[in-house]
Amino acid sequence: MYLSDNDEITMKLVHYFVTKENYQPIIVNGAENEIWLENIDKPYAVIRINANYIHNNDQLQYDLFRSKSIIKQIKRKTFSLTCDMLNIQINLGENVSLDTINDKHVDCIAIESANDEKILDIFPEIKNDMVDKGDAVDFFLNVTKDINEATEKKNKLYEKTFGKKTIIATYILIALNVLVYFLTVANPGLISEFGMSKHDFLLGDYYRVITAAFFHGGLIHLACNMYSLYIIGNQIETLLGKTKFLIIYFLSAISASLLSGLLTESLSIGASGAIFGLLGALVYFGYHYRLYLGNSLIYNVIPIIILNLAIGFSIPNVDNFAHIGGLLGGIFSSMMVGIEGKTDKTDRINGTIITFVFIAFLVYLLMK
C-alpha cells in the first residue's frame, strides 16, 4: 500500500480534528480530494482540507467561490449569521498567492506537513497527537481505527438520544389532566379553587401556579391540549428522558401561571402554557442539533409557535401571556437540564441561574 505525502498529511489532520477537537465529516456532493469537517460550537465552525492542486490565482478564486457557496448552505441550515471557515490547502502551486483572498470569515493557509508552523499557530496541540506510524498499512489502519472509535462514540450518543424509548411520563400527565377534568364536571367549583388567580396567589395560594395547569374549561379545551401534549410530550420525553421532561414541564407551567397572573386579571387554567414550554425545549434541542434538524425547526416547530401565538392574540379568552411565559420557561429550563453530549456544565449552571432568576423576578413583580 502506498500513501502519498498529501494523503499522509490529510489523514493526520483528520485524525486530530475528529479525535481531539470533536469535528465530524460533512458529505459534500461533488467534492473530490477534499474533506469537510464541522463543529458549529468551535471558533472555526467548518474546516476544509483540500488536496486538489491549485495552479494559479484564478483557480484559487474559483475554489474559494465554490467553498463559500457551500458555507452559505451550512449557515442557512444552522441559523448562523456568520460561519468562520479554515481552508487548509496542501497542494498549492508556487505562483499562487493567498494574499489575494480577502474574506474576514475565511482563513486560508497552505501547509507542507501536519506539523507546519501555520497550522500549529492555530492548533498547537496537533504536535502532541501521536499516531503509531509503522509502514503505510499500519499508519492507515491505526488512523482509521481511531477515527472509527471516535465516530462510534458519537453514533452511540445519537442512538441513545434519538432511539425509541418507553413513554411513561407523558401518558401519566395526560391521565391526570383527564381525571381532573372529570372531577371538575362533578364539582365545577374546583376550577375557581385551583386555577391561577392573582388575587388568591397574593393571599397565599401559591399551589395555584402548578394546579392551574391541570384544569380545563371544557371538553374541546381538554382535547386540544391533550392531543398537543401527546405529540410534543412524546418527542421531548424521547429526546431528553423522563426526568428532564418533567422538570421542563412543571417549570414551564409555573412560568406560564406567573406571567399570566402578572399581566391578566382573569382566572387562568389549562396545560397549554406547559405545552408551550415543551415547544421551547424542542427549539433549544433543535438548535443544538441544527445541522441535522435545521429544516425541521424552520418549517415545522417555529411556524407552529408563531401561528399559535398569532391565534392567541386574535381570539378572545386565550391566555397568550401564559403561552409566552411557558415558552420562555421551557427554553430556560432546557438550558438548565442540558442535552447530553451538547450542553456543558457551565451552560447548565447558567441555565439554572437564568431559570430561577426569571421565576423569582416574576414572583417579585407579581407581589409588588
Let me know if 97 is a catalytic residue: no
Q: Which of 272, 288, 333, 334 is catalytic?
A: 272
Q: Which of 15, 216, 288, 323 is catalytic?
A: 323
Q: Where are the alpha helices (DSSP H) in 79-116?
A: none
Sequence-distant contacts of 163-171: CB under 8 A, at least 24 apart: 164/238, 165/237, 165/238, 165/241, 167/233, 167/234, 167/237, 167/238, 168/237, 168/242, 169/233, 169/237, 169/242, 169/245, 169/246, 169/249, 170/229, 170/230, 170/233, 170/234, 170/237, 170/245
CA 155-282-227 angle, to 5 degrees, is 115
Residue at grid coordinates 471557515: 85
CA dist 291 and 307 (Å) reads 24
Helix, strand, coil percent content, the chain, rounded in steps of 5: 65, 5, 30
CA dist 37 and 125 (Å) reads 18
Q: Which helix (H) or strand (E) holds 100?
A: none
Instruction: Answer yes or no: are the C-beta atoms of 216 and 271 closer than 8 Å.
Output: yes
CA gyration radius, the chain: 27
Instruction: Answer yes or no: are the C-beta atoms of 169 and 242 closer than 8 Å.
Output: yes
Instruction: Answer yes or no: are the C-beta atoms of 274 and 323 closer than 8 Å.
Output: no
- Tell me the residue ranges of DSSP E strands in the chain: 24-26, 34-38, 46-50, 85-89, 106-110
The count of residues in the chain is 368
- What residue type is assigned to position 22 of the chain? N
Let me know if 69 is a catalytic residue: no
Closest CA to 129 of 138, 118, 142: 142
Residues known to be catalytic:
272, 323
